[in-house]
Every structure is written in structure tokens, then in C-alpha cells.
Amino acid sequence: MERKPKAKRISRRKFLSTGAGVAVGAVTGASLLKSGAMAASHAPVIPATRRTPAAAMGGLKQFPGVTVNSIFVSGEHDDTLLRERIGDVKNQLGINLTVSDLGAGAMHDKIAEGLRSGHSPYDVSTIVGFWLAEMVGPGNFEPLEPYLKNPELTPADFDFADFVPKHLDYISYWNLQEHRNGRPGQLFLLPGPHSDAHMVVYRKDLFDKYNISAPPKTWDEYVQVAKKLHHPADGIYGTAFVAANDPSISLSEWGNRYVSMGGKFYSGSLRDKTVVPHLDSPESVAAIENMVELLDYSPPGVTSYALTNVADAMSAGKIGIMMIWVTIGGRAWAPSLSKVADKVAAAVPPGNGVTIRGGWGMGIPKDVKNKEAAWAVIRYYSTKEADKARVMNYGTAAVRTSTFKDPDVVKAYPYYPTFGKLLENATPYPSIPFPESWELVMEPSKSWNLAMAKQLKPKEACQQAQAAAQEILKKGGWSKSA
Amino acid sequence: MKTAHPLDQIVTYAVLVGILVLVATPFIFMVLTSLKTNLDTLEVPPNLHIFNWETIKSNYTEVLRGRSFVAYTRNSVVIVFGSTLIAMLLGTPAAYGFSRFSFRGSSDLAFWILSNRFMPIIAVVIPISRMMAALGTLDTYQGLIIPYVALEIPLVVWIMRAFFDDISNEIDEAAMADGCGRWGALARVILPLAAPGLVTTAIFSAIFTWNEFLLGLFIVTTAASQTVPVGAAGLLTMDRAIEWNVTATVGVVTIVPVLVFSLLVQRHIVRGLTAGAVK
Amino acid sequence: MATERAATTGVPPRVASRFWRHLDNNPWVFVLPVTVYLLALSIYPLVYSFVLSLKEYHVDTRSFSWVGLGNYAAIFQNPEFYTVFRNTAIFTVATVAIELVLGMALALFMTRRMVGKSLLRTVLIIPMMTTPMVVGLMWRFLFSTDFGIIDYLLRILFRIPPVNWLGSTPFSLISLIITDIWQWTPFAFLILYAGLQTVPDELLEAARVDGARAVQVFRHIIVPLLLPMITVVILFRGMDSFRAFDTVYTLTFGGPGRTSGTLSFLAYLEGFAYSHLGLASAMSYVMVAVIILGVTVYRFAVMQRIVR
């Protein structure tokens, strides 16, 4: 089958079409570039003459022309306030600030690779409790006390003592010799942008309707309450919780039940390498059994529920009670995000009042070139005013005691007094001292999820989780003499 | 050409509509979700509160301005366009070479080229990003274009070779008999005939690099060079409360340049195909 | 022309023209650029990742220690590896086979005369070009038992009891397969359709009109003509399905347990979540070995049959 090549005519046509394509591409590219340049820039251009002179700043050191890159986790509004104030940072400190946000997983990977290769991409790196042992523990971060005490870098009214003491012990201090967080130790991170703990959120109106007098005090009562609230025919399920193969099934569900029942995650000392895990203890089995019982009073899809689905279920008015992080649970009170904003109330979770705490700290990797400029940004974002603004404007969780006591905050967020109480007693997730802390969260999550999917009995799931934990600790060298 | 049976026509259009529905429904759904408030997205069956201009404006402003998606799109367009162009320039002659010549080791070489795509990206992300760091191209367009060309070359070579294989050798020989030379035959005669293949290959090359995430995450840091998938990842984190309407808006915003691109390219596909259909 | 060149360079015309003609007709000139480019970019990563697979990384001391084949041994002694391998195999075979068949059916369908072809082609590109994370979240919402439209329609239209698409075995793996088919069948379609353009109309007419001979026309004429295209679809979709990660991460997170986990997901967990860099690298090499095996089998079983 012959095709006569119409050589000359086609090649001209091809040239024209290719040319047209390139031209269109160039025009599109140029217009995107222009609008991109306009939309992407947040900082208004401030002429040098209008920059406030250093004297008016109370003698704080300036960093004209220095660029500082910062990173925050997405979805928490940690970065929103700072993004808005990029111009102000330039005004007050001369710094060109960039604010990025990523999901926790991607953020972890990028920061970790930066620390390994010695080229940290972010001068201001936010760290969550789980990464402390892995990132701060090996001595990758710059001790902050010298910067805190330097009057050129930190004004006198900074009021370091105003930070919630337990949060400082959780995230800010790390003891390099004893492999643990808390004081006595060195200051590596400033608390922020938010703290966290777990609280129970319940529907006051449904409690009245079904004659439930008070929030449950024990986990067995929690099941009873869920049962009373469970009316699927009317579109209301008792409760929802994270039953998916998701880290939060360990962090929030099993974790809270376990510590509130008095369970111990491990015994022994890290320094002496005599650690023994206790994931098959009676409390652990009780925790999983409690969760399995709740399956009957939860929506049918609950084994695929992550934190967002639990929060959605409450906001959509589908469940009567839930236990969740304060920062996420708070959304139930926001009229723009929740159908039941005026019907919810907060309570301390069942058990001994101990819940899992969370939250972040901001620090400076040691390989950063301009550490003082990085400190300036961290300090700027950690003032009393900044903490309150974060909470008032974006509903984040406070890190300063003064913010908790502020009447405006209490008025806007009715659950804040409960939150303050929770924060006093909350404990970090027990695997935090280990560099393998995240693995110690995720491997048991697999077993808990299999128990929720009824593919394992609670006791079997605990044994599987215990075996996994033993393996991890042995490989890490923490159980040598056990 | 026989005239089509009326029943035949009906079946044809029914199937056409069916396919369109199956493919497009998730998107229609996504567009509708992007027009709602967060509360409305949680209703089952879905409601149609999609006509509130304030809501729409707020969703889209948050994504486009508050989250620099215009910048991300600009970056992605430049990076994908650049890497696809270079990969096509390098790979098309290679595909032609594999198609027309059978030289010793050609089959092995072709498979070696393919094998560059075997390695899961997670294994090579770190060494590649360190190579780009050594070249000083971290956080720049080139830093991503260079590795993306390497990712696209196997695709270009293999797809274009398939297209060249379907064009008879006799055409080359006729062109060369007219005094063209090999490269001349390729440029003036074979390429125009392979136009649908060129377009298809370019589309696929672009698609694979448009969606690439891991290298983008590690090589680029600031919004000045960040690509769309990395920018979108920030919004798509399961461990906090997702705002589905904003997520849907992100989805819509990332599709629009794709739509524009494919609409532009449609005309080329049609023109190329009708040219090739002259028998 | 050759004589002019010779006049300036001083080389005799017959030698000069033979040289350029030789260069013009030399296959290596065509393939050298890509070969050099790929070599330059692949040597360091390959060596680095291979050496890494023989070591293990210690987070607290930021150092590497030599473990030889220890990582590989650990992989094969891990029962979870076999579960995940089986999932990945099922996923790959199911997606590639279904996408190939659907793509071919779509391509054949599109050879009919009808209005709206370019609309269909535009719409079909969109699933492939959507950011995988967005696809994952979109389908997560759609598949949601309590908030999603799919289960709602199944309940209302067919009175099927609620199915836990994302959180139960085996539906979690099925959801992943459905999502992949939705996203990548257009790939098979576009390639096969472009290939069909080169098949003469008369053959396609015969296939459509004369039902009895259609299958034979298809088997003996169309398939052999399209074999290069089919090969591309099988090889590229096979490679990519085997390494599937994004949808697993967003839709099911490998759950329940690891019953919908794929090899790439496992490697990601070990390498990035747990910082077992050496183990993740070793896993990647095991995956590469399997892919090489698959491609080689395909190469010798199928491709040698093509008469050149």
C-alpha cells in the first residue's frame, strides 16, 4: 500500500502548526508568568526609606537582605498568620521570609534528608514530638539558650516563663545523655505554633434527649453512652473513631485509652539499654476490646475512618460523641464548618484524666548559615501577641499560659478551660524517646486495624503488636540486656 | 462508505454517552464540590447549594492566591514543557534509528533504555537530588528538567519507535532516492507522517512529568519553583481535618491548564490524523 | 555540493561525500545522544542505591553500617513481604489486562463515524493528567461508605447492603484496581487508537459489517499490526502498576493491615517513615529484578515472534 509523500506541502503545514503551538505556548507561559508573579507575591514592596529604623525596634538586630525559609505542617493554620505578616517581618527585621507548608510525611522526609546531607532546606524547621529522638536527639539542632539570653536578639518582655511548662518539657527541652525529652536538658525548640491534647466532644441536645446525665467517666460507660445515642434509623450513630489502618489508631484511639487506664508502654531505661515493651498488658487488651465494642455503635464505614472522617461525622450531625484532638475537635464549634455548632460541649475523656498531648516546636538545624536571622523569625512568631492572634483568628491551640487565661479567647472558644485542664495532665505518646518512635506507632497500628476488621481477636492483635515492638526495640539496640 | 443503520447509530451514541458519563462523573462531582461550603459537602445525597457567589469566590481565592497555585502552575508548565521538548528532540531520532536500522546490540540497547524506568523512584530520589545539589541546581527549573528528561526518554523512544515501525521502509527509500539522505528523509517525509505519534508521545511525556511528586519534593523548596503536585500535597493530608470543598477546588485548579493544553492539542491531533489518513 | 565542501577542506570529493553519507546513514548517530544522556544520569544513582542496599542507616548516630546481604535476607524472611507481593501481582495483572481490553474496545469503537470524537478524546485525557493525590482523595470521597455517592447509589438503586469499600478485605484492593482502571485506561486507548489510524479502512469496515469474519480479521490482521502498540501498553502499564503507590497511600493506606499494600508502599514505609534506608533500597532492587524478569519473559516469548 503506497502513500505518496507530499513532502513539500506537509512540511510547510507542519512548520506552521508547530510554530503556532510554540507561539501559543509562549503566550500562555508569559501570561501565566505575569499573573503568577502578581498573585504569588504576598509581600508589598517596601521602599528602603520606609523601613522602621532599628532604634524604634528597641535595639533589636536587623538582617537586611537575608532570606529565611520556614516550613510548617499543612492543614493546621500554623502558617497562615506568618504568611500574612511576611511584609511586617521585612519591615521590622529586614528579613526576606518565605513560608512553606507540607503534609507531615513529606515534611519529615525533606527535613530528614536535609539533616543527613548537611543542606537543610529550611532555616526555621518545625518539629513534632515523634521526630525529636530522630532529629533533635543526635544533636542536629542548635541550642537556643544563647539566643534567648541575647538582648540584641530577644527583647526583655518576651516572657519565656509564660510558655506552658508541660509543653516545654514535651517539645522544647531534650537531654542528650539520657535520650529523653524534658528538663533537665538543653533548649532546642521554642514551643509553637500550636500545642494539643485530646478531648471528648458530645452533643448536649442528644444527651438531654436520651436522658444521659453526664459525660462518661470510664471507658465502659463510654460504650454505654454510645449505645444509648445509637439510633441509625434516625440517622444518628452513637460514636465514630479512627478504626482505619492509619497512625492515629495508635496515636489517638489506643494511645488515649491505654494511658488513661494507667498502662505503661515500656519499662527499663534507654541509657542502660534494658527496655521492655508492654503492648500485651491487660490494659492494652482492654483498650482494644473497648474499641471493638464501639464498632457496633459506629457508622458502617468506620474501619476506613481517619481523623478527618470522625470530625466530619460530628460536624455533619451524624454522631453523638467522639474523642479527638482539641485542634480538630474545635471545628465542631465553628458555625461555618459545623451544623451542630451550638449543640456541642467538651469534656475530659474517661479514665484517670491523662490524655495524649501533641504539638510542635520551632528550631534551627545546625547547618543553617544565618542562625541569628532564623532565631529572629522564631522569636517574632512566638510572642504573646502572635500566640493570641493565631488562636483568635485561626482557632489554633495556644502555647502560652497567658493566652489560656485571656477572656477574649475563653469567650470565643468555650472549650478552652477544659483544654487548659487537659494540657496540665496530658502526656506525650510513650514511644517518643525512641528514634524508632514512628515505627512503634505504625507497626502496632496494623494490628489494631486488623482487630477492627475482625480479622484478629483483641488478644491476638496485642500479641502481634507486642512481637512487632520487641523486634523493633531489639533491632534498635534498646533491649540488649532484656 | 455504507450508510449507517439507524439502530447502529443509536447504540453508538448510547455507548458514547455512557463512556463520557463514567469518565467525567468524578470530575463533575469535584467541580460541584468546589462550589460549595464545607458543610454542604458532607450531605448525602449531595445537595445543589452551588450558586452562592461568595462561597465560590472564597474557595478559589484561597487556593489561587493564598496558596500560590498560579505560581505552581506556571512552574509546572515551564518545567514540563522544557523537559518534554528536550526529550522529544533527543528521543525521536533514537526511535527512528531503532526502527530503521537493525545493528548489533540494538535490541539490547533498546531494552537498556527501557530499563531506566524500572527503578522505583524512591530508591533514586536521594542520589539524584544530591547530584542536582552538586550541580547547584537545587530549587531551580533546571534541577527538575534535567532528571525529568531522563525519565521521559524511554517513553519517547519506545512509543515513537512503534509509530515509525508502522510506516513502511519503502517511503524512506523513495525519499532517499530523490536525494534526501537519511536525516532529510526523517525530517521532511517521515515526521509529518508520524505526526499523530509525535502528538501522542508528547502528551504522554507531559502527563508523566506533570504528576511527578517525589523528585519535585526533594529538589525544589520555595514557591518560586515548586510544582503543582508538591504544592497540592500540602492540602491533602489525611491526619488533620480536610476541607473537602477546598480540596476539590485544588483539584479543579490543577485540571484547568490540562484542559487548555488538550483543547489546543486536539486541533493538532485532528489535523495530523486527517493528513495521515490520505491513502 | 560535495565538491564545494572538498574545495574548502582540501579533502578529495569522493572521500568527503562518503564520510558524510556514512555518518548520515549510521545508526549510532541517531541513538548516541540518548545513550550518553541516560548513562550520565543513571550511573551514580544506580551505584549509590546498590551500595546502600548492602548497608543499614542508624538514625541516632547518623552513620551507616555494613550488613551485606542482610537486608535481602530480611525481606525474604518477612511473611508480610509475600502478602504484599501477592497483592501487587494481582493488582498489576488485573489492571493491565482490563485496561488493555477496555482500551482496545474503546479504540475499535472510536473508528465508527460519529460526532463528538474530539470531545471524548479531551475528556479521556483528564483522568491521566490529574494529580495522583487529587485522584486518590476524590475516589476516597466517592468510595466512602457513609458520605460517598457510589455506595449511596448501590443502596438506593440495587438495595445492596453497605459495602465497606476502603476498610475491608478484599474490597480495599478492588477499590484500588477500579481507581487505576479509571485513571489509566485512556492511556491504552490513546495509544491503540493512534495505531489503529494506520490500519486501512476497508479492513475495519469488514470487521464491523461482516460479523462472522470480524473475530478473524481482528486476530489475524489487526492484532499483529498493532503488536508494537500493545507491547508499549503492556510494558509501560505493567511497570507502573507494579510500582503503584499514590492511590494506595491516599485510599487505603494498605489496609486492613497490609491486605491492600503494594511493594512500593512497603518500601516507602521502610525508607521514609522508618528511615531504614538500606532496607528500602534492597526492596527496590528486588522489585527491579522482578520487572527485569517479567520484561525478559515478554521479550523472548512475544517479541521474537514479530517478523521484521
Query: Could you give the percent of chain A with pLDDT greater than 70?
Result: 88
Q: Which residue has the higher pLDDT, A362 or B35?
A: A362
Work out the pLDDT band at B33, boundaries 50, 70, 90: confident
Q: Three cell numbers at B113? A: 533504555
- Provide mean pLDDT across the span A54-80: 79
Q: How many CB atoms lie within 10 A of CB A269?
A: 14
Q: What is the pLDDT of residue A16?
A: 42
Q: Which residue has the higher pLDDT, A132 or A8?
A: A132
Residue-averaged pLDDT of chain B: 82
CA quadruple B18, B20, B22, B25: dihedral, nearest 10:
-130
Q: What is the pLDDT of residue A77?
A: 81
C51 touches chain B (CB under 8 A): no
Q: Measure CB to CB from residue C164 to each of A115, A301, A450 and give the nearest one.
A: A301
pLDDT over 50 at B277, yes or no = no
Model confidence pLDDT, tens digit, residues B76-105: 999 999 999 999 999 999 999 998 888 888
Interface of A with C in 421-450 (CB under 8 A): 435-436, 438-439, 442, 446-447, 449-450
pLDDT over 50 at A49, yes or no = no
Chains touching A (3+ CB pairs < 8 Å): B, C
Q: What is the pLDDT of residue A24?
A: 43
Work out the pLDDT band at B210, boundaries 50, 70, 90: confident
pLDDT over 60 at C23, yes or no = yes
pLDDT over 90 at B275, yes or no = no
* Alpha-carbon gap: B65 to the closest alpha carbon of chain C (Å): 19
Work out the pLDDT band at C208, boundaries 50, 70, 90: low
- Provide mean pLDDT across the span A439-452: 93
**Per this entry, what is the length of chain A?**
482
Q: Measure CB to CB from residue B159 to each of C209, C232, C292 and give the nearest one.
A: C232
Inter-chain residue contact A316 with B138, CB threshold 8 Å: no
Inter-chain residue contact A112 with C254, CB threshold 8 Å: no
Instruction: Give the residue among A12, A433, A401, A455 at the shortest CA–CA distance from A181.
Output: A433
Q: What is the pLDDT of residue A52?
A: 39
Any idea what the Cα angle at residue B195 is, between residues A5 and B229, rounded to 5°? 170
Model confidence pLDDT, tens digit, residues B95-145: 999 988 888 888 889 989 988 888 888 888 989 998 998 898 888 899 999
Instruction: Using alpha carbons, list the distances in angstroms from residue B276 to A104, A150, B17, C21, C196.
Output: 51, 75, 28, 29, 12
Which DSSP helix (H) or strand (E) runs through A277?
Answer: strand A276-277
Instruction: Give the residue among A4, A351, A368 at the shortest CA–CA distance from A200.
Output: A351
Nearest chain C alpha carbon to B102: C27
Instruction: Using alpha carbons, list the distances in angstroms from residue C79 to A177, C74, C84.
Output: 37, 10, 9
* Alpha-carbon gap: A339 to the closest alpha carbon of chain C (Å): 15
Q: Which residue has the higher pLDDT, C199 or A332?
A: A332
Inter-chain residue contact B211 with C48, CB threshold 8 Å: no
Q: What is the pLDDT of residue A9?
A: 38
Tell me which amino acid residue A160 is: F
Q: Is the peptide bond prior to A165 cis by the omega test (within 30 degrees of 0)? A: no
Least confident of A37-46, A54-63, A126-135: A37-46
Interface of C with B in 137-196 (CB under 8 A): 137-139, 141-142, 146-149, 152, 182, 186-187, 190-191, 194-195
When scoring A80, A86, A113 by the number of chain B Cβ atoms within 10 A, the one with the most, hence best to mutate, is A113
A318 touches chain C (CB under 8 A): yes
In chain B, where are the structural domains located?
Answer: 6-62, 69-273
Q: What is the pLDDT of residue A21?
A: 43
What span, in angstroms and rounded, lies between the C-alpha atoms of C283 and A52? 57
Model confidence pLDDT, tens digit, residues A159-204: 999 999 999 999 999 998 888 888 999 999 999 899 999 999 999 9
Write out chain C residues lying below 8 Å of B263, CB-based.
122
**β strands within chain C, DSSP E:** 55-58, 63-66
Beta bridge partners of A277: A266
Q: What is the pLDDT of residue C19?
A: 73
Which residue carries 500560590 as its cell? B68
With a CB cutoff of 8 Å and minimum separation 6, the contacts of C227 are C302, C306
Q: Please give the ipTM for the structure prediction.
A: 0.83
* Alpha-carbon gap: A286 to the closest alpha carbon of chain C (Å): 20
Work out the pLDDT band at A85, boundaries 50, 70, 90: very high
Q: Which residue has the higher pLDDT, C62 or C265?
A: C265
Instruction: Assign a CATH topology to domain B69-273.
Output: MetI-like fold (1.10.3720)
pLDDT over 90 at A286, yes or no = yes
* Alpha-carbon gap: B274 to the closest alpha carbon of chain C (Å): 9
Beta bridge partners of A191: A361
Q: What is the pTM of this model?
A: 0.83
Beta bridge partners of A321: A202, A239
Interface of B with A in 83-142 (CB under 8 A): 126, 129-130, 133, 138-139
What span, in angstroms and rounded, lies between the C-alpha atoms of B13 and B16? 5
Tell me which amino acid residue A307 is: L
With a CB cutoff of 8 Å and minimum separation 6, the contacts of A250 are A441, A442, A444, A445, A448
When scoring B211, B252, B261 by the number of chain C Cβ atoms within 10 A, the one with the most, hence best to mutate, is B211
C-alpha gyration radius of chain A: 26
Tell me which amino acid residue A472 is: I
Inter-chain residue contact B223 with A316, CB threshold 8 Å: no
What span, in angstroms and rounded, lies between the C-alpha atoms of C76 and C85? 11
Q: What is the pLDDT of residue A222?
A: 95
